[in-house]
């Protein structure tokens, strides 16, 4: 890689959740919805695309706006949002973008000659008689389309199923003809929703939203967000539209389920809905997903983690890290932005992001300025007991740490390499309304460890960056 790779892997001022990654040619392209910083609702911005060389996941390039919400004939005033999309390469070699508008429970399609060019509206998924999918009597509402093309057939996966909603039966699979919009096999349910899941094997991890399909060998992997919302699970089958069996959790955006460094049920980040998928890049498998920032549900950022597909086809759950796609742990020397925290918590833990239940003292990742301003993110609202965690570093002869801090607080930061470990250094900080540097000698043992930075004291402070020397 040209440089180290971090999470989030895009710039800290970019908010493109619901990520669907694909390799087209020698580049990885990521498609998703587009949140607005400091917004009060989801997906207010137009679709954009980012890409990177397959051999360098540290080198992401902005491809620009690929589709505007006003491009859909149903949305000339732009008062409907573009929800999570997916892209597939059709049998004619063109690229097809599938999406749903938030006020319409149908599936729209746009097309482009290149992966990241300007997509043009193409049509709506419909039955042979022209009735749009989702509008025929007996149809269930369409949401979050995921697509997989094999030969002249495209499999479309859709659905949204809340807990206790008996009017939603489960995720749907619909087969489309080679024109990419005409239905040749009516929708079928590939797994049950929560009210109908007893005895299915999906209990506790039933489908909620975020359909995404991948094929590995002869096995179809259906990746989805479960009713817990903060986890991405998978189910497998040898057929694209039936016989799916629950596989497990791939990742949770609060690390619930991970018991390697803490109790399995202890959240280490403020989680929320998740959406993403798996992909193989240069022989390595990854999970792309998103995390929540700004103390809300509506400013989400893309992250990536390496995963392993075992010989039996299973995928063990992986933890959230700061290094993501990097070639191993981060260097134990250098300056790092505080926003790459993969753990963020305080004395009162919180599994889900939300105004009504998040404790007011909870730290959060934010930025100065408004949406679109290229301002580096940082961790704010650090009151006594707040901890930012970073994983992992390869420490070698690291003897000093410097923090860049701002805020009206008077206390100190404690530096640890384990949640319960001793403080290896303490850095006093004082009231300041501009970014100030504070440093201290520290003796971190050589080896691969996380780094935890905990604030204790009065008031509230923000952490912009830390430097290891």
Per run of 10 residues, the mean pLDDT along the chain (length 469 residues) is 94 98 98 96 97 98 98 97 98 98 96 98 98 97 97 98 97 98 98 98 98 98 98 98 98 98 96 97 98 94 98 98 97 98 92 70 94 97 96 97 96 96 94 96 95 97 98
Phi, psi of 179 (to 5 degrees): -80, -5
Q: Residue 454's closest CA among 414, 417, 408, 426? A: 414
- Domains 20-307 and 330-468 are alike in CATH topology: no
What is the C-alpha to C-alpha distance for residues 257 and 267, in angstroms, rounded to an integer?
A: 9
338: left (phi over 0), alpha (psi -120 to 50) or beta: alpha
What is the C-alpha to C-alpha distance for residues 346 and 334, in angstroms, rounded to an integer?
A: 26
- On whether the CB atoms of residues 52 and 29 are closer than 8 A, the answer is no
Q: Residue 269's closest CA among 402, 145, 389? A: 389
Which is it for strands 378-382 and 400-416: parallel, antiparallel or unpaired? unpaired
Match 């420490």 to its residue by tokens: 395
Residue 323 in tokens? 């290094």
Sheet of 219-226: strands edge to edge?
Answer: 207-216, 219-226, 231-237, 245-252
- Asked whether the bond before 437 is cis by omega within 30 degrees of 0, the reply is no
Question: What per-residue confidence (pLDDT) applies to 414?
Answer: 97
CATH 2.115.10.20 for domain 20-307: yes
Question: What per-residue confidence (pLDDT) applies to 353?
Answer: 85
Which residues, 6 or more positions from 43, have their beta carbon under 8 angstroms from its beta carbon?
A: 33, 34, 35, 81, 82, 83, 84, 102
Question: What per-residue confidence (pLDDT) applies to 2?
Answer: 86
Q: Residue 231's closest CA among 280, 278, 289? A: 289
Phi, psi of 132 (to 5 degrees): -75, 140
- What DSSP designation does 94 have? -
Q: Residue 149's closest CA among 72, 82, 97? A: 97
CATH number (2.60.40.4070, 3.40.50.300, 1.10.540.10, 2.60.120.260) of 330-468 reads 2.60.120.260
For residue 29, what is the enclosing H or E element?
strand 27-31
433: left (phi over 0), alpha (psi -120 to 50) or beta: alpha
Question: What per-residue confidence (pLDDT) applies to 302?
Answer: 98
Match 């004619």 to its residue by tokens: 92
What is the C-alpha to C-alpha distance for residues 189 and 199, in angstroms, rounded to an integer?
A: 16
CA distances from 259 to 13, 319, 322, 402, 416 (A): 32, 9, 18, 31, 19
Q: Which residues carry out catalysis?
A: 18, 209
Rg (CA), the chain: 23
What is the C-alpha to C-alpha distance for residues 332 and 447, in angstroms, rounded to an integer?
A: 9
- Asked whether the bond before 174 is cis by omega within 30 degrees of 0, the reply is no
- On whether the CB atoms of residues 336 and 391 are closer than 8 A, the answer is no
Write b or e for each residue in 167-184: b if 16 or more Cβ atoms lie within 10 A of its Cβ, otherwise e.
ebbbbbbbbbeeebbebe
Question: What per-residue confidence (pLDDT) applies to 421?
Answer: 86
Sheet of 153-158: strands edge to edge?
Answer: 146-150, 153-158, 172-176, 183-189
Domain boundaries of the chain, sorted by first residue: 20-307, 330-468
């Amino acid at each position: 890689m040209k440089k180290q790779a971090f999470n989030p892997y895009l710039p800290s001022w970019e908010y493109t959740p619901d990520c669907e990654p694909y390799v087209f040619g020698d580049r990885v392209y990521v498609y998703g919805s587009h949140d607005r910083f400091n917004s009060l609702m989801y997906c207010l911005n137009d679709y954009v695309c980012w890409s990177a060389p397959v051999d360098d996941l540290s080198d992401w390039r902005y491809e620009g706006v690929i589709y505007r919400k006003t491009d859909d004939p149903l949305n000339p005033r732009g008062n409907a949002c573009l929800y999570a999309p997916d892209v597939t390469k059709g049998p004619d070699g063109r690229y097809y973008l599938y999406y749903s508008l938030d006020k319409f429970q149908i599936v729209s399609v746009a097309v482009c000659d290149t992966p990241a060019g300007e997509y043009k509206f193409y049509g709506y998924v419909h039955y042979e008689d022209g009735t749009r999918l989702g509008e025929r009597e007996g149809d269930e509402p369409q949401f979050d389309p995921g697509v997989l093309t094999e030969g002249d057939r495209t499999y479309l996966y859709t659905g949204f199923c809340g807990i206790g909603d008996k009017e939603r039966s489960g995720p749907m699979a619909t087969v489309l003809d080679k024109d990419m919009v005409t239905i040749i096999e009516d929708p079928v349910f590939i797994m049950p929703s929560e009210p109908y899941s007893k005895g299915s094997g999906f209990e506790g991890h039933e489908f909620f939203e975020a359909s995404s399909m991948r094929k590995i060998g002869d096995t179809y992997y259906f990746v989805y967000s479960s009713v817990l919302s903060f986890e991405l699970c998978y189910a497998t089958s040898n057929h694209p539209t039936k016989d799916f069996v629950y596989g497990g959790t791939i990742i949770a955006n609060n690390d619930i389920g991970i018991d390697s460094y803490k109790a399995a049920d202890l959240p280490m980040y403020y989680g929320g809905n998740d959406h993403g998928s798996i992909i193989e890049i240069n022989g390595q498998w990854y999970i792309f997903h998103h995390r929540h920032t700004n103390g809300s549900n509506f400013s989400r950022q893309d992250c990536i983690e390496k995963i392993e597909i075992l010989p039996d086809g299973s995928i063990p759950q992986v933890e959230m890290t700061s290094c993501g796609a990097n070639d191993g742990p981060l260097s134990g020397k250098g300056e790092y932005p505080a926003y790459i925290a993969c753990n963020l918590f305080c004395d009162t833990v919180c599994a889900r992001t939300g105004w009504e239940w998040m404790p007011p003292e909870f730290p959060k990742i934010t930025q100065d300025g408004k949406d679109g301003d290229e301002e580096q993110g940082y961790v704010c609202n650090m009151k006594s007991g707040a901890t930012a965690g970073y994983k992992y570093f390869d420490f070698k002869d690291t003897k000093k740490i410097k923090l860049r801090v701002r805020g009206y607080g008077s206390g100190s930061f404690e530096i640890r390499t384990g949640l319960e470990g001793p403080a290896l250094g303490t850095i006093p900080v004082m009231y300041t309304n501009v970014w100030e540097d504070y440093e201290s000698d520290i003796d971190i043992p050589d080896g691969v460890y996380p780094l935890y930075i905990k604030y204790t004291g009065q008031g509230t402070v923000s952490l912009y960056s830390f430097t290891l020397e």
